[in-house]
Amino acid sequence: FDVLNFYPASSTVARIYSESDPNGELVSISEVFSESDSTPDPASALFRGQVTVSTDPGSQSPADGRVWVRHGDSLFVDYFGPGGGATPLSSSSASLTLPAPTPTPTPVPASGPISLAVLGITFLILMWWRLTRTQRPKT
């Protein structure tokens, strides 16, 4: 994992990565008062940083602020402590369940009323064919 450390020695650094993006991102984190209050608090043991979790495979570039994830991936965090260091001081993981991808229908533009008429005629022909092939009970 050869990524330049762009953080000053006074920063606390974590690396966030996924199974799809094993290099992930280095993130500067700060110890804060609470999840909703970003006031610095050196005794809270609650750290806050920011990274974008993206489903775009182009999000694998180093230092772009994004971590690429796919359906079923887990997110991992390595805590490097002040100045980054070379070896994580602690690690953690979290399961991330992304919704299954939904296919997006591609609209096909109709070329006016003629296309609709052709579709209608095709439908009628298919219905007629089905009716003529259906077995009818004998009376």
CB 52 within 8 A of CB 63: no
Which residue reads 């008429």 in tokens? Answer: 117
Going 26 to 27 to 28 to 32, the CA torsion angle's sign is negative
Give the position of tokens 């970003």: 38
Per-residue pLDDT of the chain (139 residues; tens, 9 = 90+): 344 444 444 457 888 888 889 999 988 888 888 878 888 888 887 888 888 888 888 878 888 888 888 878 888 888 877 766 667 666 666 666 666 655 555 555 544 444 444 444 444 444 444 554 545 555 5
